[in-house]
Structure formats: structure tokens, C-alpha cells
Amino acid sequence: MAPVQLEFDPSVDGDKGSYVREMFTTIAPRYDLLNRVLSFNIDRSWRRRAVSRLGWQSAPTGTYLDLCAGTLDLAAALARQPAFRGTVIGADFVVPMLRLGRAKAERMKAVGADALALPFDDARFYGCTVGFGVRNLTDLDRGMEEIARVLKVGARLVVLEFSTPQRWPIKPLYQCYSRHVLPRVGRWVSKHATAYSYLPDSVLGFPGPSQFADRFRRAGFRDVDYQPLTFGIATIHWGIRT
């Protein structure tokens, strides 16, 4: 049988940015549904845990950035906090994703922007969250430096990202799920040929938690740490802008 022809293989073609834009534009209408189904609804609690690491209570009227905001689920998790009185700017370079999220909460604004060249002044934000976004950047270090640039000194960056479980029996079970179940269900529901094969491949290609912590420090963050969630399927990383 002939090998499966990928619609786009970033490892071969190299133009990952165009692939990521096209992919999220295509899957936008089914993105939230697939998140709920493929994570068994656990993704909502991961986002709440990420928000709890942000320390927004020290500046509840401040302006916060949610980068790679997609359909604004993580932005909304912050904006909906009962004592939150500030604004969350959700930035993403796929505007159809942002449009789908605008009604999820008040106190949010959506801005079309590339994470590698943010249209914001230096030291504008009191904190930043990124949910399942940094893995998609063509230049991780440049993205981290851009985030550091737009954060005030002392502000927190919280990154929620997929990771790879390391312990038996979760490791082989998760590998089986992410290689066989997730791509098939994802392709069937999203109608995109490769988006949900790209997902586990991009997780494998992403630095492990301690390597990513080094990249945090290099970009200008201190007190960097991380916490694995749900057997290490996802990890919350955080640090304070120096």
C-alpha cells in the first residue's frame, strides 16, 4: 500500500507557521468539541489550575495577556473569576478561532496577533497565560522573549502544555491512545487530514519539562517551576519576569 500522503508535513516542508495557521483555521468550528471529547472534559480543570498559578489576585484590575488564545477558553477561565476586575486580552494569529470565543465571558478583548511579533508596548501586562500554544511556535525562544518583553517586572507567565507521561502503565496506554485513537477521532470529527496526527508528533518534539524550564530562565524569568497534571499528560510551567 502506498504511504499515506500528508497534506503538509512540517518536518519536511519547514513552513510550520503556515501549516499551523491553515490547520487552526480549518478545525476552528470543531476545536472546542474535540477538546472536550478527546480529553474526557479534563481540559477545563487544567485551565482552571493554570489560572490558579497566575497570581492575578495581587493586581485584580490589571490587564493580562492570554497568548495563542484560540477560542478563548483560558482567557475566559481568568475573566470569569468572581473577584477579577481587570481585562484579558486574548491574542492569536487565527482570527476565526478568536471569533468563536468572544461570547464566553465579559472583560475579554480579542486581538489578531503573531506571538513572534506582538503589537504591544513593553511592560504592558500584569501577567500572561499560554494554553497549548508554545508547542506550535516556529521559534520557541523568540516567542518566550516576546512574552518577557510585554510583561512588567515581577509579572508571572503561566504556560499549560501537553507532556508525555513517563510511568508504567500510563505511558504505554497514553502512547496507544495518542497514536491510534486521537488521530482517528480527530480526523473524523474535524475533517482535517493531519491536525490530530500533528498534535502527538508536536508533543513528542517539544522539550521535556526541565529543558523547557531552562528556556524560561534564558528568556528572562526567575523562580521557574512546573507541575505535572493527570499523570503527566499535561504540565503547568510558570516563572516570574526578572
Ligand X SMILES: C[S@@+](CC[C@H](N)C(=O)[O-])C[C@H]1O[C@@H](n2cnc3c(N)ncnc32)[C@H](O)[C@@H]1O
Binding site for ligand X (CB under 6 A): 20, 24, 68-70, 73-74, 92-94, 97, 114-116, 131-133, 136-137
Residue nearest to ligand X (CB): 70
Check if the beta carbon of residue 147 is closer than 8 Å to that of residue 124: no
| Of 114 and 201, CB closest to ligand X | 114
| Of 91 and 224, CB closest to ligand X | 91
Nearest to 138, CA basis, from 202, 75, 65, 95:
202
Residue given cell 520557541 in the structure block: 140
**Rounded (10°) angle between helices 16-38 and 182-190:** 100
**Least separation, in Å, of the C-beta of 95 and ligand X?**
9
Q: What angle do CA 10, 120, 147 make, to 5 degrees?
A: 55
**Rounded (10°) angle between helices 16-38 and 195-204:** 100
Edge-to-edge order in the sheet of strand 87-92? 108-112, 87-92, 63-67, 125-131, 151-162, 234-241, 221-229
**Least separation, in Å, of the C-beta of 167 and ligand X?**
25
What are the grid coordinates assigned to 152, written together?
A: 512588567
Other CB atoms within a 10 A radius of the CB of residue 22 amount to 16
**Pairing label, strands 125-131, 151-162:** parallel
**Pairing label, strands 234-241, 221-229:** antiparallel
- Give the number of residues written for the chain: 242
| Of 133 and 183, CB closest to ligand X | 133
Q: Is 49 helix (H, G, I), strand (E, B) or coil?
A: helix
| Of 11 and 61, CB closest to ligand X | 11
**Least separation, in Å, of the C-beta of 209 and ligand X?**
18
**Least separation, in Å, of the C-beta of 41 and ligand X?**
13
| Of 116 and 170, CB closest to ligand X | 116
| Of 16 and 171, CB closest to ligand X | 16
| Of 74 and 155, CB closest to ligand X | 74
Check if the beta carbon of residue 75 is closer than 8 Å to that of residue 99: no
